[in-house]
């Protein structure tokens, strides 16, 4: 392990590094806006997990603000409803959010790379939506 000097800054970490990287390297416009919107909604859904320690009230407030923010983005018509469904589910139960993540994965498959899709798949699984998509 390399020792850091005492004045060194801590590395920035992202919960969904592949999604963040995709948003950062996408050209301005539709693909970038989709990637950023998916990143935001994934973070909201991730905060349902008890280990995150985010209260129901806070998640509800965040969902309302995210809904407003999403309304200002130029998103494809097929993507917006799935993202809004995930935003709404982010203030509820984990399984509903996991299923909403699966819906987002389905409509954004052409916008996301394999790393981003893997992160969403892992998120859906951690929310209890493992294998549920195949049963529907």
The residues, any chain, with a CB within 8 Å of residue 126's CB and separated by 6 or more, are: 46, 49, 98
What's the pTM? 0.85
pLDDT digits (tens), the chain, 136 positions: 567 777 777 777 778 999 999 999 988 888 999 999 999 999 999 999 988 888 999 999 999 999 999 999 999 999 999 999 999 999 999 999 999 999 999 999 999 999 999 999 999 999 987 754 444 4
Q: What is the DSSP letter of 52?
A: G
Q: Are 19 and 38 in contact (CB under 8 A)?
A: yes
* Residues 90, 100: Cα–Cα separation, whole Å: 9
Residue 108: partners with Cβ closer than 8 Å, 6 or more residues away:
34, 38, 79, 82
Contact criterion met (CB below 8 Å) for 47 and 54? yes
The domain ranges of the chain are 17-130
Please say whether the beta carbons of 90 and 43 come within 8 A.
no
């Amino acid at each position: 392990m390399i020792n850091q000097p005492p004045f060194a800054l801590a590395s920035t970490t992202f919960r969904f590094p592949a999604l963040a990287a995709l948003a950062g390297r996408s050209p301005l416009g539709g693909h970038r806006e989709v990637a950023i919107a998916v990143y935001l909604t994934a973070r909201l859904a991730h905060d349902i997990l008890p280990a995150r320690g985010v209260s129901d009230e806070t998640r509800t407030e965040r969902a309302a603000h995210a809904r407003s923010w999403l309304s200002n983005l130029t998103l494809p018509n097929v993507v917006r409803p799935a993202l809004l469904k995930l935003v709404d589910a982010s203030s509820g139960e984990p399984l509903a959010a996991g299923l909403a993540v699966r819906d987002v994965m389905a409509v954004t498959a052409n916008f996301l790379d394999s790393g981003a899709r893997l992160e969403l798949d892992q998120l859906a699984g951690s929310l209890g939506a493992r294998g549920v998509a195949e049963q529907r």
